Every structure is written in structure tokens, then in C-alpha cells.
A and B are shown apart, each in its own frame.
Chain A
Amino acid sequence: MAETFDADVIVVGSGALGSNAAYELAKAGKSVILMEAGVRIPRWKIVESYRNSSRRSNYNAPYPDMPWAHTSYDDGYIENTGSFDFHPGMLKLVGGTTWHWAAAAWRYLPVDMKLKSTYGVGRDWPIGYDELEPYYQRGEEALGVVGVDAQDQSGQNGAPSPRRSKPYPLPAEGKTYMFQALEAGLSPLGFNFIHEPVARVTQPYDGRPACAGNNNCMPVCPIGAMYSGDVHADHAVAAGAELLTDATAYKLEKGEGGKIIAVHYRTSTGADVRLTARAFIIAANGLETPKLLLISDVANSSDQVGRNLMDHSGIGMQFFADEPVWPGRGPIQQGGIFNRREGPHRRNYAAIKHALANNAPNVPVTDRLIKMGVFGPELDRRILEDASKWVDVSTVFEMLPHAENRVQPSTTRKDALGVPMLKVHYDIDDYVKAARPVAVDDFHTFVKGMNGQLIQISEGFQNRDHIMGTVIMGSDPKDSVVDGDCRTHDHKNLFLATTGVIPASGVINPTLTGVALAIRMADLIAREV
């Protein structure tokens, strides 16, 4: 008997990962439904909302927070039970959270993927760098990544690494003067300054203009030079996928033989719909994906769903250089100091990445001066002087997976669709805490090296919105949720496209890795359905 399905593949979540998977499958001739809890919003609208907002450093603020599609800063959305206020900035609209990111598009190093074998801590990936390498390339071409081909991205000033089979699709942008000035001051002390590969095109590419340094990557690139997931949501639709908006998945339905046979979703207008497919990809970010699995009681024979939550928690420092370095010209981020990305210290404490933030600093500079009681013409004079010398270092740490750090559906709060919201328990571990003093020591060295004046070092730790580990990848179904192909161990036709699969966090932004894995799983699914 021939079965009829609503689609060959249903993808839940239209962010960068889900949309890339949907596009690859639609291109391969499969019928695809791409499902999104939020709505579609044109770029101009988000720019308008940003400029008219009173809280421009709140990157979620220009995006609608609806009772049926909450963005993560809604006070009721995440309940935190641990010692850390885990609050990543996640969005729900067509294109997902890459509407506001800094477009960092790193590859993991081979050693990142063998953390346990090399340093005896954490877990290994069940696949190696070589298996992922061609998909990193395809992901870079999809996102329009610019980079410097022959640099040692491990930060050790060695041979170019990691290995590339082809050059970056686009050449890197020019080096900001700010980066040049800090490099001139600090590289003589042995600090290795590395260009960050970014999905921010330097010439017209795939319908996007070249970056012209509007310095607003977060919360929204006003011109679309920076990649956001809606690019591939649009490509997927053009290739034949069907996009459903205002469609929140709330249940995966199990069938015979351990297969998932349907997804149920609700809309804000009260509809409740069941859709069937041959295969399912859940791409609902690292918090919502495990939540959906837990609510549906699916894929969790290992009891690892929602556990092992990791973020690249971070700290920050601002100081004045003694000469103007001129931040606020160009893109907001283009690299940093990478010496501690790799090294034997990872046996004992976390890898550390120091990034240089290039945001126009007028708000913090002016706020500080006003609080110091500076007014009138002197205020203007000081704004210019302080802003020109302002250096902002944003530092992140590698994190290890711990079963107690977890996300679960809330037992006390539901959204307007009756779907439970989120409960998170997160404590920063000793691996990270041991690295903090090393990073702070670096901070003092930076200030001294630039003949500078320290302004402040942040207290505690900060969110960095890189959600990993919650549907952890592994070869053993007893202690992992998905295998090396991102296929759930428990259900052959259920795949997870989220950075939540990442078992070893490394210290670099995981989005490109997530896209590479999504394209890889789409290739696999296209062969199977």
C-alpha cells in the first residue's frame, strides 16, 4: 500500500541550520515543509524598529516577542534554577537568531574534536575533522564566508590550520585601523592576532551587497551584507519548499518501528494541525529542540536530552589606549588574540579566546562621563577623546559538558499556545573558573602593553548565546542522543540540526559547524527518502 505523506521531509525551525537543510533537500527534488513558529519580517522593518528603540544594546528588542513565539529575554520565558542566569538572546522569526549575530564562521580544529583523547577532559566527537571538512566548505559557500587562507587559526603562529581543501569563497575585508593599532602594540609581546572568518561578504554575493561598515551587525545588518538565515529560507522556497509561519511544533508523534510519523503544530489563531513526513529535522535551536523531544517523550533512551548544556560563557574588559585607535569604523568584529585557543593547558583549564569588539562606543563612553559629572562643552571634548581610545575586549571560555547543566520544559509556565516554556539549570564549572584568572592576567598585560588605563573588568560571567550539548552527539546510544550524522539513536528518521549536538564546545562560535552538519544530514536524508 502506497503511503501518502504531507511532505518527504519536514524541517522544524527556519533558522540558518534548518533553512540550509531545507534548501539542500528541495534542490535535490524532495518535497519539503519548512515550519517556523515566528513570522516573516522584512529587513527594513527591523532597522526601523532598532532605530526607534530606547534600548539599543538589547539585541532582541527590535524583534517581536509574542505570547505564542517568545524571544528569550521575555521575563517569563526561561526560569533559571542554577547559580548562573542563563539567558541567551534567541529569536523566533523566519531566519532565526542569525538576524543578530556577528557572523563569526569558524571551523573547529581537529584537536577540538578529540578533546578527551588529547587532554583527558570532556568528550570526543564521534566523527573527525576530515569527515566534516567538505561540508565546512559548502557551508562557507552558502553563507558567503570571507577569510584569510594561510593563517594558523589555532593561534600558535604555526603552519596554516585547520587544513582546507579549497580557499575561502571570498577574500577577507580590510583590517580596521583599530585592529592594526592593537596588533602593533601587542604582537611584539607574543600575542597572535588572528582574522576571524565571517559570513559578511566583501563583494556582491548571492543578492547581498558588500559590507560597508555600518557597524550594526547586532542587532541587525541594515543592508544584508551579513548573512542571516532568511537568505536560505528564501532559497528553499524558490527551490520548491513550502514555508509555514506562525506554526509552533508542540509534539512529535511516534509510530511503528520507532519511526516518527507526524509533527503537530499550533498557530496563534487557534489552529491545531498534524503533518506527516518520511523524515523529520528538528532545527529549533539548542533549547527548543530538546524541549520538543522531552515534551513528546522522544529520542531519550539515554536520558541525555536537555543535559550537558554548554555555552561559551565569557567576560569582558574595557580600557583606554594612550593613543587614538578609532573603534566604530567598519564591522563590529573581525578577530582577536588566539594564543590560548589551543595548548596543553586544556588538560587543566579552558581554552580562551580574546575578541576585539569594534562597536562605536559612544553609548558607554557618554554614559560613563555623565555619571562622572562631566557636562557641557567638556563632555563633547571628552566623548571624542575617550571614544577614540576605547578598547573593548570580549573574551570567551571553552566549557565542558555536565549532566546537571540542563534544559527542561517548565512545569509551571506555559505560553499562549499551551506549550511549556523553559527551565534551565546552569552552573559554570571549575574548568572555566580556573581559566578566568589567566584571562584577567592577559587583560592587565594588554593594558600595560598599550600604555593604557583600565576602565573595568566585568564581574562574574556573561552569556554568549552559543547553545551546545543539549542533544549531544556520540557513538554510544547509552550516553548520547544523536550519532555522528545527527540522526537520533532512537528514531531512524529523526534528525537534529542544532548546535545542541556539539559534544565538545571548543572556544569558537559554532554556527558554521551547525550549518555544515545540516548540509551533511540533508545529503544523507536525500539518499534515504
Chain B
Amino acid sequence: MNKRAASKTGAFAAIRRRDLLVGIGVVALLAGSGIALETSIAAADSGAPPVAFIQLSQFITGADLTDGPAMARAWTQLSALDTGFPAAVAHLHSAVASAGFKAMADFLASPLAKDAAVLKTVSAITAAWYLGYTGTPGSLTMTDNTGFVTYTGALMWRPTAGLMVIPTYSLGATNYWVDPPAGTAIPKNIKRDWTGSTPRASSHKDA
């Protein structure tokens, strides 16, 4: 992996100092889902995602993104959807590196973030990692231009982890859903039971 491409200080330094190969990954951020880290990213051959894309993805999403195959998929698919994408990535990467932004919030406050072309690149990368797919899903059809990046590792689950389900996984026992997450403002006239219920509420606790 070509570490010489990035400077020793500046925007991506923090990311370089963390060992890219053994990061905290999405694990810490998806509390409780315990998704493990990928311990190696695919060896550098042609077609492997360039460091610029990896670092830019990490910068834009604030995540360690240690799933190497997912990174490769995102790169290949985004490049296929837009032939200008590789150049746009290289350009944005060097712009961010030379501006020395410490974090995404700084970048978004800067004039660079007003540039439509830059925003297009940011949007494509954000969507790929947050939604977990590239392209636009078609409705009622078997064919579209979408490509898979990740599912359980999609960053859109990060903010609601432990509060909402990642579909197909469970948060717990039958009827965990009757109570809202702690701290919710509950209306006074809330009714927890069905009117006209059978006497026993359904529960896995029925012995």
C-alpha cells in the first residue's frame, strides 16, 4: 500500500497514524452489533482502490472503513458509473490534503464545499457508504445500475444503532417494541394495550 502519497501532517495524518489495517472500524460506532474488522485490505494490484479514494472515503464518512472488499467494490462501481470519478477523487483528495482540514465539518464550512463538482463527488462517496450501494435502484424491475457495497456495514445504521433494527437482525425479545428508547417524551394519553385484547398480553414469558 502506497503510504508515500499522503503528507505526514495535515488532514489525512490522523488517519495514517491509526493503523489502517487494524482500526476500530465500524464496530465501536455500531454499538452492540459487534461487527468485526477486516484485518487486511487487498494487496495492491491494478484495480485496487487508490489510497486517495480510501483516505477520502474515511475523511468524508468519519469511519475507519476497514472492509477491504467493500472498499474495492465501491471504487470499481463508482468509477464505472462515472468515467470522471477517478480524476475527481484525486483532485478532491489533494485539495483537502493541502487545505489541511482536520475534519469533515471544517471542509463543509469552507468555500471548497460550495463547488458543485466537488459536492457531486462527496455525494457519490457518501451515498455509497451510507446507503451501502451505488447507482439508482429501479422500481418494479430486475435491471438497474445499482451495485452492492455493504449492508450491515452501511453507515446509515450508525446513528440509529441499538434504537432501530438493522432489518433482518433483532433487538431482543418479542414485544421489545412496546416501549420506546429511554428518554422519549411519551404523550399523556398513550395506550399500551389493544382495546378488546384477549386477557393475556402476548409475551414469550407465558409459561
Q: Which range holds the interface residue count of chain A?
A: 35 or more
Q: List 8 A-B contacts (CB under 8 A).
A: A57-B139, A148-B198, A150-B197, A202-B202, A214-B170, A215-B167, A375-B104, A383-B158
Interface assignment of B24: CB less than 8 Å from any CB of chain A: no
Let me know if B104 and A216 touch, CB within 8 A.
no
A181 is contacted by which of B105, B140, B141, B187 (Cβ under 8 Å)?
Answer: B187
B197 is contacted by which of A60, A172, A463 (Cβ under 8 Å)?
Answer: A172
Let me know if A376 and B105 touch, CB within 8 A.
yes
Tell me how many residue pairs across A and B have CB atoms closer than 8 Å: 243
Closest residue on chain A to residue B109 by CB atoms? A376
Assuming the A-B contacts A177-B177, A212-B170, A213-B174, are A184 and B160 also in contact, with contact meaning beta carbons closer than 8 angstroms in the complex?
A: no
B107 is contacted by which of A60, A89, A370, A376 (Cβ under 8 Å)?
Answer: A376
Let me know if B198 and A149 touch, CB within 8 A.
yes
B151 is contacted by which of A52, A57, A360 (Cβ under 8 Å)?
Answer: A52
Assuming the A-B contacts A185-B187, A366-B156, are A175 and B194 also in contact, with contact meaning beta carbons closer than 8 angstroms in the complex?
A: yes
Q: Which residues of A contact B202 (CB under 8 A)?
A: 146, 170-174, 202-203
Q: Which residues of B contact A240 (CB under 8 A)?
A: none
Which one of A27-35, A324-332, A415-423, A434-442 is at the B interface?
Answer: A324-332
Which of B135, B177, B180 has the most chain A CB atoms closer than 10 A to its own CB? B177
Tell me the complex Cα distance, A222–B169, Å.
8
Let me know if A148 and B194 touch, CB within 8 A.
yes
Size of the chain B interface, CB-CB below 8 angstroms: 78
Interface assignment of A132: CB less than 8 Å from any CB of chain B: no
Let me know if B140 and A329 touch, CB within 8 A.
no
Let me know if B141 and A375 touch, CB within 8 A.
no
Q: Which residues of B contact A359 (CB under 8 A)?
A: 167
Let me know if A367 and B141 touch, CB within 8 A.
no
Indicate with 1 or 0, residue by residue over A216-238, a CB within 8 angstroms of chain B CB atoms.
10000011000000000000000
Which residues in B have some Cβ–Cβ distance to A below 8 Å?
60, 62, 103-105, 107-108, 119, 122-123, 126-127, 130-135, 137-144, 146-149, 151-152, 154-160, 163-181, 184-187, 189-198, 200-204, 206
Closest residue on chain A to residue B198 by CB atoms? A171
Let me know if B146 and A148 touch, CB within 8 A.
no
Tell me the complex Cα distance, A328–B105, Å.
29
Let me know if A54 and B141 touch, CB within 8 A.
no
Interface assignment of A257: CB less than 8 Å from any CB of chain B: no
